[in-house]
A and B are shown apart, each in its own frame.
Chain A
């Protein structure tokens, strides 16, 4: 599975859906973004999927009629579910042992369509320090503001913004190095 799919910048923006839309429409829109966010706080794709399932079901049943931005609510729910999962130590270990066998297929599949640039970005992103990568992912693909990120991660907005800039700079540096080495 690849981490990203190429699309136009505008289509990545979150739309406000009418409330009568089915959960499938919502999940199609929010699911991929949530899964990417969840992968920042979990050890495997399987764990991330568990977390997204739990968070989305909770949101759809109990929280979607609440005022506020759905994505911010969902990200909070995902993060909480990820931490709950991590606390369930026994289950985590069992899951990791199971995932160890198929981890390459789940995480490191190289694109076969010649999209080297996308693969390079993905690889560079994975090499970022965790605290920078999570801010970058929440800002770019989670579409949260620095204030929302700060609230979510327990930081100041300035720290969140700094980490974001550091992440971009590190990403650029890594990609420049990768291009130099062919």
Chain B
């Protein structure tokens, strides 16, 4: 681009979109208050960190058992189900961010350090026969409270 266009581009970057109206902010506020939020403020405890992969494993087992139960049936449903032989193939917990939220005082008066970690969990199932795959990806937030000992 020539200098004149670069200059115009810089001038455009110096313009900021007008603020949103108070009415729109109020509407967003009302909409967010209308239902509980999910996401970054949701605290997922250690229990869930283990429970999620466990639940995924249970689903995988059920998927494998389902065709076995229907094995003696000659219905078309059983034929289709027998193809769904998904087996756990890979699992990954990707740490996206970690933030040290500093020292906190627990209910019993002890001091602890609180850390907030954000993960993206991915579990992949595969059918070895057909090579079909099922991928389950879910964001997860984890809060760790680590006791601190002052010496």
Which A residues are closer than 8 A to B by beta carbons? Answer: 1-9, 11-12, 18-20, 23-24, 27-28, 31-33, 35-36, 49, 52-53, 56-57, 60-67, 118, 121, 136, 140-141, 165, 168-169, 171-172, 175
Contacts and interface: CB of A to CB of B under 8 A. Distances in A.
B25 to A, nearest CB: 6
16 contacts: A3-B17, A9-B14, A12-B13, A12-B15, A18-B99, A23-B28, A24-B29, A52-B20, A53-B27, A53-B31, A65-B39, A118-B15, A165-B1, A165-B5, A171-B12, A175-B8
Nearest to A171: B8
B24 A1 contact: no
A23 to B, nearest CB: 6
B14 A62 contact: no
A9 B39 contact: no
Contacts of B20: 27, 31-32, 35, 49, 52
Given A53-B28, A165-B5, A141 B35 contact: no
B39 A62 contact: yes
A4 B24 CA distance: 17
A53 B17 CA distance: 16
A7 to B, nearest CB: 4
How would you classify the secondary structure of chain A's contact residues: helix, strand, loop or mixed? helix
Contacts of B96: 67
Most buried by B among A3, A61, A121: A61
A175 B21 CA distance: 29
Contacts of B10: 9
Most buried by A among B4, B9, B28, B97: B28
B28 A4 contact: no
B14 A168 contact: no
B18 interface: yes
B8 A35 contact: no
Contacts of A141: 16-17
Contacts of B141: 65
A113 B132 CA distance: 64
Contact of A36 (B4, B17, B25, B32): B17
Interface in B39-86: 39-40
Given A60-B37, A60-B39, A62-B39, A19 B14 contact: no
Contacts of B113: none
B116 to A, nearest CB: 8
Given A57-B28, A168-B8, 4 more contacts: A9-B13, A31-B20, A61-B38, A140-B9
A34 to B, nearest CB: 8
A65 B40 contact: yes
- Give 10 closest A-B pairs by Cβ, nearest first: A32-B17, A36-B17, A4-B15, A7-B16, A31-B20, A65-B139, A65-B39, A57-B31, A19-B40, A49-B24
B14 A169 contact: no
B18 A64 contact: no
A79 B110 CA distance: 50
Given A9-B13, A171-B8, A49 B38 contact: no
